Amino acid sequence: MKKLFFGVLVVSMLAISLVGCAPTATAAPTTAPVVATTAVPTAGGTNPAPTAAATNPASTTAATVDLSKTEPIKIGYIGDLSGSTAVWGQAGLNGALLTADEINANGGILGRQVEIVSADGRGQAADSVNALNKLIDEDQVIAVIGTNFSSCNIAMAPIADAKHIPLLATAASNPLVTVDKNGNLLPYSFRIGFIDPFQGQVLANFAYNQLKFTTAAIITNVADDYSVGLSNYFEKQFVADGGKVLIKVEGQSGDNDYRAQLDKIAALNPQVLMIPWTYKDVALIANQAREAGITAVLIGGDGWDSTDLLTMAGPALEGGFYTSQASYANDVTKPFAAAYTARFNITPETEALFTHDGLYWIKDALTRAGAVDSVKLRDALENTTTFTGLMGTMSIDPKTHDPSKPAVINTIKGGKFVYYGSYK
């Protein structure tokens, strides 16, 4: 009896896996095998138009989405919609919805409406991968905007490449998002924000040249690749400029108590303390630093960029500086911010500006490409020489897909974020 059952189990699993597999072509060695989405008919309804035989994945046969002219162009958004950083993910989604309506009110893209389809990546690589697969295979999006986590985008990149759907990271700032660790460009991965090496450099130059500081200390979150990367890049540039890093200490998000490390810093009395963490910990560290008697100016990266930071840190951060994407301190963003607050009843986060610019960038690229085709879209994105959005003007380096755009430095004055300057 048991053997019979077992046999049935084996046979049925084999059957499932065989039925489930459309005849695939084994890919050229670099990426995952291309799955032809045509062989198995989807439930009734519209079949995607048969692509040229999916046997030549390295070439430019696209997953051309066969829609009649009046069907909307679907663009996906992946972000953390339900986890601990949902405040950013939700903001991104809201920004996308707001922008899509604006674009549609002005004639859409190539005469078609834009529709946003969202999927919850929960800030985790595994969930983001599932989300991307769903958006591409089930919802047939032509491009995806998201996420702000480098780890998620690194995991999603092979899928974007294999299925020929451009993926536009928002704030993800690790260089590995667009160029893999062997130096190969990931052709379908793009990003809208600057990368950490750039950010670290700007901060270091600013601290040394503008603020005229020569001694610094750094506290790093070793559990966060963003923090580790930013600390390294800052240190390299600061030392190259001629400054001295007196001490580097480490901690982990979740420890909550950094006094032990901060006391070490206090003893050396640096002029500036670099805190490349996310805003919650920045607030804790700042408060504890002041308690420890540290009088240094506090600086950090775009992890500071949240309206919650000031409520949590109080006066400890007064006089501090941080790099950010061009953000709400700029007057040009005021109409958008007003419209956002009117519709969603909450002040917007920078992530909403990312999705706004991302959508307009896609519009710009599709218009240049002249057709609603994901491969042509990719080429147009790669060849962007000037695109101006609410976050400034940028051009894309075709070799790395990294945008060159200025970083903004904001300061905290009177308990508020105040725009300080734009730096390249």
Partner 1 sequence: MSGYYQGLLILVCINLIAVLGVSILTGFTRLFSFGNAGFMSIGAYTAAILSSNFNVPFLPSILAGAVLATFIAFLLGKLTLNLRGDYFLIATLGFGESVRVLFNYIVPVTGGAQGFSAIPVIPGNELLTVALITIVCIAIARSIIYSKYGRNIMAIREDEMAAQAVGINVASYKNFAFTTSGFFAGLSGGLWAHYFTFISPLMFNLDKSAEMTIVVVIGGLGSLTGTIIASILVTVLPEILRAASEYRMLAYGIAVVLIINLWPSGLMGYKEFSFSWFRTLWVSTKTLIKKIGAK
Partner 2 sequence: MFLQQLVNGISVGGIYAMISIGYALIYSLLGFSNWAHGDVAMIGAYIGFLFFATAKLPFPIALIIAIVGAGLLSLLNERIAYRRIRKNNSPTMFLMIAAMGVSTILQNFITVTVGPKFLTYPTVVSVSTIKIGKLHIGVLDAVSLLVVLISIILLILLLNKTRFGLALKACASNIAVASILGINVDAYVMWVFFLAGSYAGLAGVLLGMKYTVYPQLGNVSLKAFIASVFGGLGSVPGAIIGGLFIGIMEGMITAFVNPGLRDIFTFSFLIIVLLIRPSGLFGKNVSQKA
Q: Which does 302 bind (CB under 5 to 8 A by kind): partner 1, partner 2, none?
A: none
Nearer to partner 2 (CB atom), residue 99 or residue 124: 124
Beta-strand ranges (E) seen in 161-264 are 167-169, 189-191, 215-221, 244-251
Site membership for partner 1, residue 124 (CB under 8 A): yes
CA dist 363 and 372 (Å) reads 10
CA dist 180 and 61 (Å) reads 23
Nearer to partner 1 (CB atom), residue 34 or residue 297: 34
Site membership for partner 1, residue 199 (CB under 8 A): no
- Closest CB 389 distance from partner 2, rounded Å: 28
Q: Which does 257 bind (CB under 5 to 8 A by kind): partner 1, partner 2, none?
A: partner 2
**CA proximity to 363, closest of 132, 100, 60, 17:** 100
Q: Pattern of binders to partner 2 over 301-320, x per CB under 8 A?
A: -------x--xx-xxx----
Site membership for partner 2, residue 282 (CB under 8 A): no
Of 167-186, binders to partner 1 (CB under 8 A) are 174, 176, 180-182
Site membership for partner 2, residue 134 (CB under 8 A): no
Residues in Cβ contact with 49 at an 8 Å cutoff, skipping those fewer than 6 apart: 64, 65, 66
Listing DSSP states for 310-353 in one string gives: HHHHGGGGTT-EEEESS-TTSGGGHHHHHHHHHHHSSPPPHHHH
- Closest CB 126 distance from partner 1, rounded Å: 7
Q: What does the radius of gyration of the chain's CA atoms come to, in whole angstroms?
A: 24
User: Is 153 within 8 Å of 176 (Cβ atoms)?
Assistant: no
Q: Pattern of binders to partner 2 over 240-259, x per CB under 8 A?
A: ---------xxxx-xxxx-x
Burial 92-118 (b: 16+ CB within 10 A, else e): bbbbbbbbbeebeeeebbeebbbbbbb
Q: Which does 24 bind (CB under 5 to 8 A by kind): partner 1, partner 2, none?
A: partner 1
Name the strand (E) or helix (H) holding 412: strand 407-413
**CA proximity to 397, closest of 420, 413, 377, 381:** 381
Binding residues (CB under 8 A) for partner 2: these are 83-87, 222, 249-252, 254-257, 259-261, 263-264, 267, 280, 283-284, 287-288, 290-293, 308, 311-312, 314-316
Binding residues (CB under 8 A) for partner 1: these are 1-2, 4-6, 9-10, 13-14, 16-22, 24, 26, 31-33, 35, 37, 40, 42, 81-82, 119-120, 122, 124-127, 129-130, 133-134, 136-138, 151, 154-155, 158-159, 163, 174, 176, 180-182, 222-225, 227-229
